[in-house]
Amino acid sequence: MNTEKTVPCLYCQSKNKVNDKQCYHCGMPLALKHPENKSSRLRFFVQAFVLIAFFCLVMVAYLPR
């Protein structure tokens, strides 16, 4: 069973190993994301989304109909 993860090249969409720094197909550097960066970005996105949703709920409750 092959559990090795692949990362798609942004330029040619070919699948590269996660550990590779360059695309084996076109040679472009892969946009490798460290798990920490990814999770922190995701957390920031979730926080922004929650803020926006909360703001919308407040406005819906606050604004007269």
Give the footprint of Zn ion on this chain (CB under 5 A). 9, 11-12, 23, 25-26
- Unique residue bearing structure tokens 């919308």: 56
- Min CB(16)–Zn ion separation in Å: 7
Element containing residue 58 per DSSP (H, E): helix 35-62
User: Minimal distance in Å, beta carbon 8 to Zn ion?
Assistant: 9
Q: Residue 21 or residue 65: which is nearer to Zn ion going by CB?
A: 21
Q: Considering the complex, what minimum distance in angstroms separates the CB of residue 10 from Zn ion?
A: 7
Tell me the three state secondary structure of residue 5: coil
The SS3 assignment for 32 reads coil
